[in-house]
Amino acid sequence: MAAMADVVETTLAGMGFELVDARASGGGRQLSIFIDRAGGITADHCAEVSRQLGRVFAVEGIDYDRLEVSSPGLDRPLRKAADFARFAGSKVDVRMRTPDASGRKRFTGLLRGAQGAVATVEVEGQDVALNVDDIDRARLVPDPPGGSRAWTEGKKR
Query: CA-CA distance, 135 to 26, in Å (whole number)?
Result: 28
Q: Give the N- to C-terminal CA distance of the chain in Å, as an integer.
A: 47
pLDDT in tens, 29-52: 899 999 999 889 999 999 999 999
Query: CA-CA distance, 75 to 139, in Å (whole number)?
Result: 6
Q: Which of 137, 143, 134, 15 is nearest to 91 (CA)?
A: 143
Q: CB within 8 A of 25, min separation 6: which ones?
A: 32
Please check the confidence at residue 148 and state whether its pLDDT lies above 80. no
Please check the confidence at residue 157 and state whether its pLDDT lies above 90. no
Split into its structural domains, the chain has a count of 2
Residues 95, 62 share a domain: no
Is residue 106 situated within a structural domain?
Answer: yes
Domain C-terminal end among 21, 47, 70: 70
Residues 41, 96 share a domain: no
Cβ–Cβ < 8 Å for 112, 127? yes
